[in-house]
Chain A
Amino acid sequence: MPVESIFHRLEALLPKVQKPIQYVGGELNSTVKDWDSADVRWALMYPDAYEVGLPNQGVAILYEILNELPGTLAERTYAVWPDLEALMRAEGVPQFTVDAHRPVRAFDVLGVSFSTELGYTNMLTALDLAGIPLLAVDRGEDDPIVLAGGHAAFNPEPIADFLDAAVLGDGEQISIAITEVIREWKAEGRPGGRDELLMRLAESGGVYVPKFYDVEYHDDGRIKRVAPNRPDVPWRVHKHTVMDLDEWPYPKKPLVPLAETVHERFSVEIFRGCTRGCRFCQAGMITRPVRERSITTIGAMVDNGIKQSGFNEVGLLSLSSADHSEIADVAKGLADRYEGTNTSLSLPSTRVDAFNIDLANEFSRNGRRSGLTFAPEGGSERMRKVINKMVTEEDLIRTVTTAYSQGWRQVKLYFMCGLPTEQDEDVLGIADLAKKVIKAGREATGSRDIRCTVSIGGFVPKPHTPFQWAGQADHETVDRRLKALRDALRGDKEYGRAIGYRYHDGKPSIVEGLLSRGDRRIGAVIRNVWEDGGRFDGWSEHFSYERWMAAAEKAGVDVDWYTTREREENEVLPWDHLDAGLDREWLWQDWQEAVSGGEVEDCRWTPCYDCGVCPTMGTEIQIGPTGRKLLPLTVV
């Protein structure tokens, strides 16, 4: 039976809402398939507004891969803003996909990609609007499998009650594998119903089904153990790692939206994973090992992406893009190719060294040299050793001076506040650093027309990192240090006016900390917040700290216990049964090293230090150089 489009019902509501274009679909390169041409159907959700969700690479890649698969269709759905939500409730219009405007409840799977924990309440809105019961245990045979992925899924425990399943790591291969399990089960006439399907997925060890695990607690609230409650369910669930990214050159048909989105460019992931070893960085820990795309694949993807999309900007993405083994040749090759075409190139996420200036110069060859961004993260040398961000003050000053003297006018510096062992003087060190940067820049250029912006946010300890045991700084401490830093910057007569200051206050970080390292008891808090009207928690104008605290109190949850409390070595952590490949003993040892100031080198260039990922996951570092060069193309 074909499922009817709800578009005619939605259409009557659109004249009454802000930016209606975000709900109508019709993007270039989007795919609409006949409902009956597929026997497995995915609704893919990015749980934030369309303008944020549309450019998300994870969803775009899975959308394309699943739609390429015979007998399979995938459509996209995003969080609707409160104005449309209210109208949909009043008119009984369900959560819909933007591709064919089909009701989300009609699909086999609702896959939700969580880059951040702050999308949890938006998932609840979508489930509720879709008519899908919020709790997994209340769902019936006609409800989709609600499946979480993305970085936040590495600790899905706070949303475990709302999920049927979760997947850790790279989604390309596992989404296909899940599709085939569902196809087989449906072809057999759905034996054993929903429960058997979930069992088949869980048995593989590659899909986490929370309800097949019981959590036991000590009297003091700590977790005693997490154990499977059925035979054949594995004790631990492992992450997925795609090897040989050249075999997966997605997106091939980039989605080009009509609505304005946060990233208006074609993005190519030039490598996945990072082994710099920054101890605060969850992404760098859970995406190991480093797997590069080759220079020739990158060149072909950029060429194809520009032709397919008409974008005039290309972003080369990764966790630390200047670390690609052939980045200099990539930069030069692309800059040569697109010289004079009004196509610009950008390289987000770069590290602090002079080599980066060369790259930035290459990328700005026919454009302007406006701003460069560096992330020293810690304000003092001591702090940077604790987080294993090995940048000396001399490195930073030298790099920034080079940038100013080569015509860059503005340098942005990123820092974190509330890092483990941090003292007031570590944060105040940022002011000294910024002043030295301006001083050196003025001396090098002989000009006062240079600026530096300090941008600083609160640190949140994350699962699967050496800081997973750390006590998070309370928001009073963070706010006090941020204010002291502001006063130190603004009060300076000589340099104050050349230094900009942007900061985020400490309260949202506490909520993020609660959700990041929470366990299943946090589900009640999320639900309370949502029932109290919590939506779009990643947006400061919608976020309410007071609402979260009231919800926690109502649920009997002690927020400090989850956030500012330091954990003991052998406390069972809520995510210990979820395997990112990292050896727990190595993580603990690295945490101890952090406190004592020990540094870890990058394993791409030094011997393996046994973090555990490669042997556990059967993976290996895949890097160049290939020695190949980009050939010039005829560019239209």
Chain B
Amino acid sequence: MQRLRVRYAKRGRLRFTSHRDISRAVERAVRRAGIPVAYSAGFSPHPKISYAGAAPTGVASEAEYLEIGVTTPSDPAQVRQSLDESLPSGLDVLDVVEAGPGGLADRLEASEWEVRLPGADRELAEVAAEKFFAAGTVEVERLTKKGPRRFDARQAVLGLEVSEGTDRTAAQVGGRPCVILRMVVRHMTPAVRPDDVLTGLRLVADFAPPVPPEVTRLAQGPLDVSTGALADPLDLDRDVTRGGEAGPAGEHVAG
């Protein structure tokens, strides 16, 4: 069975899709696109589509990954086009490669996040980021399905930059200035998410943005610990299957 690895984006208003919503949408799109998806055997067959670490509901992403098993060998470029056309606009297929050896999930070691904070104060944000970094650990609490859970939000964060820009959703009505945080966060258990880092900033420096943040995952993949940079996780598949044809790994679409 051939396996195809897909990088897709979750953009704009479709960032409010939950993981379950996306999996239903993908199953339907696969059928509409006529992709020869394999089904599991047994009493109620399911299409063989698996997902690696989905971004939370409400968080946009430029780097989500899934894997499709197909019954007849398919051209990745063609699948990329037909699947993208069959998905609603906002769930956009960016890259498809044939899977090489090794699991995809293992390569997703860290994520780069962008957090836009409309109306927040830049200086306060910078002070908070410094204090956060200076701290050895920052214990935060989050409500999980198993109840409230306390964990350290500091160790997983490898980089935290503060800059300025305009908030993207309100851009159509003029755009408000906002503080932009960029962070590289290592995938750990329990997962440290951007909102945990924001909780941490509030705890160390009383930094609290006035409105809900707009969060986007920009990339995820293998982590170079010395530089804090992320590589394209599909490069390894490309090296094996087609001698390294470049994909749109660096493409960060704003919208």
Q: Which residue numbers of A lie inside 8 Å of B, CB to CB?
A: 5, 7-8, 11-12, 14-16, 19-21, 23-28, 256, 258-260, 264, 306-312, 342, 368, 636
Given contacts A26-B90, A258-B14, contact A21 B21 (CB under 8 A): yes
Give me 16 other A-B pairs in contact (C-beta within 8 A), A21-B17, A309-B32 excluded.
A8-B172, A11-B13, A14-B16, A15-B212, A21-B21, A23-B16, A25-B13, A258-B24, A260-B20, A264-B24, A308-B32, A310-B32, A310-B86, A342-B39, A342-B45, A636-B34
Residues on the B chain within 8 Å of A309, using CB:
28, 32
Pick the most buried of A14, A16, A306: most chain B CB atoms within 10 A of its CB: A14
A116 to B37 alpha-carbon distance, docked (Å): 41
Determine if A15 and B58 form an interchain contact, defined as CB atoms under 8 angstroms apart.
yes
Q: Which residues of chain A have C-beta atoms less than 8 A from B17's C-beta?
A: 21, 258
Most chain B CB within a 10 A radius of its CB, from A8, A16, A25: A8
B13 and A7 within 8 A (CB): yes
CB-based nearest A residue for B43:
A368
Give the chain A neighbours of B90 by CB distance below 8 A. 26
Provide the bound-state CA to CA distance between A182 and B212, in Å: 43
Closest 5 interchain pairs by CB? A310-B28, A310-B32, A20-B16, A24-B13, A310-B31
A25 and B29 alpha carbons, distance in the complex (Å)? 17
Write 19 A-B pairs (CB below 8 A) sorted by A numbering. A12-B211, A15-B212, A20-B57, A21-B16, A24-B13, A24-B14, A26-B14, A28-B28, A258-B24, A264-B24, A309-B28, A309-B32, A310-B29, A310-B31, A311-B28, A312-B27, A312-B31, A342-B39, A368-B44
Q: Which of B16, B20, B22 has the most CB of A within 10 A?
A: B16
Known contacts A15-B58, A20-B58, A311-B28: does B88 contact A258 (CB below 8 Å)?
yes
How far apart sit A39 and B89, CA to CA, in the bound complex (Å)? 28
Q: How near does chain B come to A368, taking the closest CB pair, in angstroms? A: 6
| Nearest B residue (CB) for A258 | B21
Q: How far is the CB of A42 from chain B (nearest CB, A)?
A: 23
Residues of chain B contacted by A25 (CB below 8 angstroms): 13
Tell me the complex Cα distance, A342–B38, Å: 11
Complex Cα distance, B57 from A259, in Å, reads 12
Q: Which residues of B contact A636 (CB under 8 A)?
A: 34
Write out the residue numbers on chain B whose beta carbons fall within 8 Å of the beta carbon of A258. Answer: 14, 17, 21-22, 24-25, 88
**Which chain B residue shows the least CB distance to A366?**
B45
> With the chains together, A307 CA to B31 CA distance in Å?
8
Contact A256 B28 (CB under 8 A): yes
> In this assembly, does B191 line the interface, its C-beta being within 8 Å of a C-beta of chain A?
no
Min CB–CB distance A159 → chain B (angstroms): 33
Q: A310-B29, A310-B32, A368-B43 are in contact. Are A21 and B18 (CB under 8 A)?
A: yes
- Considering the complex, give the chain B residue whose CB is closest to the CB of A22: B16
Q: Any chain A CB within 8 A of the CB of B1?
A: no
Chain A: CB-nearest residue to B89 = A26
Question: Complex Cα distance A337/B31, Å?
Answer: 16
B77 to chain A, nearest CB (A): 19
Residues of chain B lying within 8 A (CB to CB) of residue A11: 13, 169
Cβ–Cβ < 8 Å partners of A310 in chain B? 27-32, 86
Contact B14 A16 (CB under 8 A): no
- Decide: A26 and B18 in contact? CB cutoff 8 A: no
B45 lies within 8 A of A28 (CB)? no
With A and B bound together, what is the CA distance between A19 and B17 in angstroms?
8
Residue B170 at the A interface, CB < 8 A? yes
Give min CB distance, B94 to chain A, whole Å.
19
Query: Quick check: A12 and B88 within 8 Å, CB to CB?
Result: no
Given A12-B212, A26-B88, A260 and B21 contact (CB-CB distance below 8 Å): yes
- Chain A residues lying within 8 Å of B172, measured Cβ to Cβ, are 5, 8
Residues from 39 to 71 in B contacting A, C-beta threshold 8 Å: 39, 43-45, 47, 57-58
**Do A260 and B13 touch (CB < 8 A)?**
no
Could you tell me the distance between the alpha carbons of A15 and B209 in the complex, rounded to whole angstroms? 14
If A27-B88, A258-B14, A260-B20 touch, whether A307 touches B32 (CB-CB below 8 Å) is yes
A518–B176 Cα gap in the complex (Å)? 52
Measured in the bound complex, the distance between the Cα atoms of B88 and A258 in whole Å is 9
Is B173 an interface residue, CB under 8 A from the partner?
yes
Q: Which residues does chain A contribute within 8 Å of B57, judged by CB atoms?
A: 20-21
Which residue on chain B has the smallest CB distance to residue A309? B28
- Give the shortest distance, in Å, between B71 (CB) and chain A (any CB): 12
Tell me which residues across on chain B come within 8 A of A15, comparing CB atoms. 58, 212
Q: Shortest Cβ distance from B31 into chain A, in angstroms?
A: 4
Provide the residues of chain B in CB contact with A5, threshold 8 Å: 172
| Measured CA separation A11–B173 after assembly (Å) | 13
Query: Complex: how many Å from CA A16 to CA B211?
Result: 11
Least Cβ–Cβ distance between B73 and chain A, in angstroms: 17
A553–B165 alpha-carbon span in the complex (Å): 59
| B58 adjacent to A14 (CB under 8 Å) | yes
Chain B 182-219 interface mask (CB, 8 Å, partner A; 1/0): 00000000000000000000000000000110000000
B30, B44, B45, B212: the one contacting A16 at CB < 8 Å is B212
Contacts of A368 in B (CB 8 A): 43-44
B204, chain A: closest CB distance, angstroms: 23
**What's the Cα separation between A542 and B64 when bound, in Å?**
38
- Which of B32, B47, B57, B86 neighbours the largest number of chain A CB atoms within 10 Å of its CB? B32
Set of chain A residues within 8 Å of B44, measured between Cβ atoms? 368
Tell me which residues across on chain A come within 8 A of B39, comparing CB atoms.
342
CB of B133 to closest CB in A, whole Å: 27
Q: Are A24 and B16 in contact (CB under 8 A)?
A: yes
Q: Give CA–CA (A132, B218) in the complex, Å.
A: 43
Within the assembled complex, what's the spacing in Å between the Cα atoms of A422 and B16?
A: 51
Of all chain A residues, the one with the shortest Cβ separation from B118 is A12
Min CB distance, B124 to chain A, in Å?
21
Most buried by A among B24, B57, B169: B24
Bound-state Cα–Cα, A16 to B58, Å: 10
The smallest beta-carbon distance between B38 and chain A, in angstroms, is 11
Residues of B within 8 A of A27 (CB): 88
Q: Give the docked Cα–Cα distance between A15 and B194 (Å).
A: 14
Docked Cα-Cα span, A310 to B31, in Å, equals: 5
A26-B89 Cα distance, complex, nearest whole Å: 8
Shortest Cβ distance from residue A23 to the other chain B in the assembled complex, whole angstroms: 8
B21 interface neighbour in A259, A306, A311, A342, Cβ under 8 Å:
A259
Contacts of A342 in B (CB 8 A): 39, 45, 47
**How far apart are A51's CB and chain B's nearest CB, in angstroms?**
12
B160 CB to closest chain A CB, in angstroms?
22
Closest to B213 in A: A15
Most A C-beta atoms less than 10 A away, residue of B28, B29, B86:
B28
When the two chains form the complex, which single residue of A8, A20, A260, A306 contacts B24, counting CB atoms closer than 8 Å? A260
Contacts of B13 in A (CB 8 A): 7, 11, 24-26
Q: How distant is the Cα of A636 from the Cα of B14 in the complex, in angstroms?
A: 28
Tell me, in angstroms, the Cα distance from A308 to B32 when the chains sit together.
Answer: 7
Q: Is the CB of B31 within 8 A of A8?
A: no
Closest to B18 in A: A21
A264: which B residues are within 8 A, CB to CB? 24
Chain B residues near A20 (CB-CB < 8 A): 16, 57-58
- Nearest CB of B to A322, in Å: 25
B14 near A8: Cβ-Cβ < 8 Å = no
Q: Given A24-B16, A27-B88, A28-B88: A8 and B169 within 8 A (CB)?
A: yes
Q: Of all chain B residues, which has the CB nearest A11?
A: B169
In Å, the complex CA distance between A258 and B20 comes to 9
Cβ–Cβ < 8 Å partners of B21 in chain A: 21, 258-260
Nearest B residue to A341 by beta-carbon distance? Answer: B31
- Please measure, in the bound complex, the distance between the C-alpha atom of A582 and the C-alpha atom of B17, giving whole angstroms: 48
A311 to B30, CA, bound (A): 10
